[in-house]
């Protein structure tokens, strides 16, 4: 599985007074098995981009080639796209609607036309993968759950479709620190076990540094930087200009350097930062 985005442009309300160029000649490529982070200031086009990836929006120009097939082609059925590409919207828990948790998670796989048996197996597996207990929860209402648990169930509904590409739009928004951490680890574990492509939109630079193989930086509808987390977070000045930041551990090192101390600022987490600081101290 690979994804190629070529010259993608999207304009909302074209020709109207309030027209907005949300994507402006976006180009990038995603390889099989990659965990990709997308960062960018609010309004930079991240959600618009994600909605093109599962065919919800069609571009003005450009193409999205998934395994050699251009999904912007009018003859491609949305059904076929959705089988492969699972999109978890922001605040997905608002989309829970069934009377029981098992029925809610089963909704997507049932729409794929799978047998009742297959659906039940997938529902069980998906609820397990999001770290919850199927037997305990299957007949309960999703509305009895806490916010973080509801979100997990909503994500299970997408995972149950076994998408080859799992896309999550700011999945930790509004969660407490514990649920945030658990959810991200869960997404990472699913990525490892399913060997899917995972695409994560996040404002949390620590998560981006910890979990992704590749980062795409969006600014005013353009994909302005692409690289490994290390490469991207070397561009602190550019990121700050775009209203973004580097991970906290990296920021500390940059600030030490600004005090005139010779220190390596490449670290992305606390362990690496401690090594840099110890090395800098040793040089004195």
Q: Please, where are the H alpha helices in the chain?
A: 46-53, 78-84, 101-111, 116-129, 134-137, 147-159, 177-194, 205-211, 229-233, 236-241, 248-258, 270-283
Comparing CB distances to ligand ADP, the nearer of 145 and 201 is 201
Comparing CB distances to ligand ADP, the nearer of 48 and 265 is 48
Min dist. Cβ of residue 47 to Mg ion (A):
3
Comparing CB distances to Mg ion, the nearer of 46 and 84 is 46
Min dist. Cβ of residue 48 to Mg ion (A):
8
Comparing CB distances to Mg ion, the nearer of 22 and 123 is 22
Comparing CB distances to ligand ADP, the nearer of 93 and 219 is 219
SS3 track for 24-58: EEEEEEECCCCEEEEEECCCCCHHHHHHHHCCCCC
Rounded to whole angstroms, the Cα distance separating 76 from 70 reads 8
Comparing CB distances to Mg ion, the nearer of 101 and 167 is 167
Which option in ligand ADP, Mg ion, none does residue 163 bind, with CB closer than 5 to 8 A by kind? none
Which option in ligand ADP, Mg ion, none does residue 40 bind, with CB closer than 5 to 8 A by kind? ligand ADP
Cβ contacts of 1 within 8 Å, gap of 6 or more:
32, 66, 67, 84, 164, 165, 197
Q: What is the separation of C-alpha 213 from the centre of its chain, rounded to a whole number of angstroms?
A: 12
- State which of residues 5, 38, 39, 47 lies at the interface with Mg ion (CB under 5 A): 47
Which option in Mg ion, ligand ADP, none does residue 261 bind, with CB closer than 5 to 8 A by kind? none
Which option in ligand ADP, Mg ion, none does residue 45 bind, with CB closer than 5 to 8 A by kind? ligand ADP
Min dist. Cβ of residue 49 to ligand ADP (A):
7
CA 90 vs CA 54, 87, 151, 273: distances in Å = 15, 10, 10, 32
Number of residues assigned to the chain:
284
Which option in Mg ion, ligand ADP, none does residue 212 bind, with CB closer than 5 to 8 A by kind? none
Contact status: 196 vs Mg ion (CB under 5 A): no
CB 236 within 8 A of CB 254: yes
Rounded to whole angstroms, the Cα distance separating 156 from 160 reads 6
Min dist. Cβ of residue 235 to ligand ADP (A):
19
DSSP lists the bridge partners of residue 168 as 88, 200
Q: Which two tokens stand for residue 167?
A: 């896309």
List residues binding ligand ADP (CB under 6 A).
12-13, 20, 22, 40, 42-48
Q: Which two tokens stand for residue 71?
A: 């999904």
Comparing CB distances to ligand ADP, the nearer of 11 and 280 is 11
Which option in Mg ion, ligand ADP, none does residue 202 bind, with CB closer than 5 to 8 A by kind? none
Min dist. Cβ of residue 57 to ligand ADP (A):
9
- Chain residues binding Mg ion by CB under 5 A are 46-47
């Amino acid at each position: 599985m690979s994804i190629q985005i070529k010259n993608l442009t999207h304009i909302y309300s074209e020709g109207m007074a309030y027209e907005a160029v949300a994507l402006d000649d976006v180009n990038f490529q995603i390889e099989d098995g990659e965990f990709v982070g997308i960062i960018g200031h609010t309004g930079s086009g991240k959600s618009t981009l994600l909605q093109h990836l599962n065919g919800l929006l069609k571009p003005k120009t450009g193409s999205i080639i998934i395994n050699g097939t251009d999904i912007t082609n009018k003859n491609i059925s949305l059904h076929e796209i959705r089988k492969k590409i699972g999109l978890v919207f922001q605040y997905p828990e608002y989309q829970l609607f069934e009377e029981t948790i098992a029925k809610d998670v089963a909704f997507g796989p049932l729409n794929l036309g799978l047998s009742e048996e297959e659906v039940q197996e997938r529902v069980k597996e998906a609820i397990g993968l999001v770290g919850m207990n199927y037997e305990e929860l299957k007949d309960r209402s999703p509305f009895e759950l806490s916010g973080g648990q509801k979100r997990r169930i909503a994500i299970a509904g997408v995972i149950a479709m076994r998408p080859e590409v799992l896309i999550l739009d700011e999945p930790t928004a509004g969660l407490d620190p514990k649920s945030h951490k658990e959810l991200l680890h869960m997404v990472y574990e699913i990525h490892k076990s399913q060997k899917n492509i995972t695409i994560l939109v996040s404002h949390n630079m620590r998560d981006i540094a910890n979990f992704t193989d590749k980062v795409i930086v969006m600014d005013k509808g353009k994909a302005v930087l692409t690289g490994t987390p290390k490469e991207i977070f070397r561009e602190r000045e550019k990121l700050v200009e775009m209203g973004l930041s580097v991970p906290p551990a990296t920021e500390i090192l940059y600030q030490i350097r600004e005090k005139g101390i010779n220190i390596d600022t490449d670290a992305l987490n606390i362990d690496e930062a401690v090594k840099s600081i110890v090395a800098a101290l040793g040089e004195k």
